[in-house]
Amino acid sequence: MKNASGPPIGPGAPWLAPLAGFSDLPFRLLCRENGAAAACTEMISAKGLLRDFKKAASAGPHGASAELLRTVPEDAPLVVQLFGAEPDCIAAAAREAMGRGFVFFDVNMGCSVPKVIKTGAGAALLRDPDKAVAVGRALFRTAGEGRAGCKLRLGPDAGSSAYADLARRLEDEGAAWLTLHPRHARQGFAGSADCAALEKLARSVSIPVLASGDLFSAEEAVKRLETGVRGVMFARGALADPGIFRRYLDLLAGRVPEAYTGAAGAAFLLRHARLARALSAERAGRSGIPCALLKMRGIAPRYLRAFPGVGRFRAALAHCAGWDELNALTREFFPDSV
């Protein structure tokens, strides 16, 4: 289902969440190959993006924020998630990105990381609904009808429920969709997601609501649809199993999903490594090892953490200095991989 001129939203169109440090281009493509219908960039500072665009205009380096926008045609539809506390800055960053071909946007109003909170952005906006609405309005009007949404949490801390009233105001200002991670910002990832809040929000607004939070299996995601949300957004569940999108779609279609095996985990690892090697700049760290490979050494064990031998595999990876060596180690420890 299309939301006006926006990205696909519906039970059969699962999204990949914006995951700081993880939802880069190689991982987004891996998830798309396994059924993700749309993906978000990592969360990007509006101020940082404007600064990087200014550097690029003067032939300087692109910078870390602009680097988060790296994409290819196969990485579509892509939703650029911005954070910031100044409406003019959010609007300017979106305009600059639109001038470079980006179409869909989201504004984060749920991140509880201290360095984001102290700028007045992320979940700090839940303490100031008027400012949150102004930030949302600036983005929605800049992007155009159907092309921008907002990611929320329940409120800044326990006992606060800013989300329902704020959601209605954001809808009135032109939000095309809302995503709710039903925890308070102060909770982080502790406790459990409040599914009753998802149901309340789905009844409170007429625009699509996407469910996030605690979707660690395809079965949990299908059950979350019972709250009345229009779709689901996988985050930590996708980090452990990029095939969660396909398993979810299989369940919706009445098919029995394939079991997650060590061979499947190794196959995800090898494919992710091929994508990272092909798409990442070969910048070397202090050790002389490509930065993308160093990052991959940390990522690789999560695909295989439930299987025997992963501890020894992780230890061996600590000395891995080349892509071919990573491939060889994977096949040595998990010989059924392809």
Mean predicted lDDT score pLDDT of the chain: 92
Residue 273: what pLDDT? 96
CB-based contact 2:243 (threshold 8 Å): no
- Which of 75, 7, 84 is CA-nearest to residue 50? 84
Q: Pick the range with the lowest mean pLDDT from 75-84, 249-258, 282-291, 303-312.
A: 282-291
**Looking at residues 307-333, what average pLDDT do you find?**
93
Residue 126, pLDDT above cutoff 50:
yes
Residue 1, pLDDT above cutoff 50:
no
Residue 183 token pair: 């925890």
Q: Which helix or strand (DSSP H or E) is residue 138 part of?
A: helix 129-143
**Looking at residues 312-317, what average pLDDT do you find?**
94
Residue 101, pLDDT above cutoff 70:
yes
CA atoms of 249 and 163, how far apart (whole Å): 29
40 is catalytic: no
> 169 exposed, middle or buried (CB, 10 Å; 0-12, 13-18, 19+)?
middle
Residue 2: what pLDDT? 39
Residue 68: what pLDDT? 93
Give the Cα-Cα-Cα angle 46, 290, 19 (nearest 5 degrees): 35
Query: 291-299 vs 323-333: helix axis angle to the nearest 10?
Result: 20
According to DSSP, residue 241 is labeled -
Q: How confident is the model at residue 285 (pLDDT cuts 50, 70, 90)?
A: low
Residue 26: what pLDDT? 97
Residues 41-59: tens digit of each pLDDT: 999 999 999 999 988 765 4
Residue 4: what pLDDT? 46
The dotted CATH code for 15-252 is 3.20.20.70
Residues 6-49: tens digit of each pLDDT: 899 999 999 999 999 999 999 999 999 999 999 999 999 999 99
> What's the pTM?
0.93
Residue 286: what pLDDT? 62
Residue 26 token pair: 């190689």
Residues 76-92: tens digit of each pLDDT: 999 999 999 999 999 99
**Looking at residues 265-289, what average pLDDT do you find?**
85
**Looking at residues 291-296, what average pLDDT do you find?**
92
Range 106-134 burial, b when 16+ CB lie within 10 A, else e: bbbbbbbeeebbeeebbbbbbbeeebbbb
Instruction: Out of 40, 111, 150, 320, pick the active-site residue.
Output: 111
**Looking at residues 145-153, what average pLDDT do you find?**
97
Domain ranges of the chain: 15-252, 262-333
Residue 336: what pLDDT? 73
Residues 225-238: tens digit of each pLDDT: 999 999 999 999 99
Residue 276, pLDDT above cutoff 70:
yes
Helices (H), 144-181: 163-173
Percent share of the chain, pLDDT over 90: 80
Q: Please tell me whether residue 284 adopts helix, strand or coil conformation.
A: strand
**Looking at residues 3-7, what average pLDDT do you find?**
71
CB-based contact 16:39 (threshold 8 Å): yes
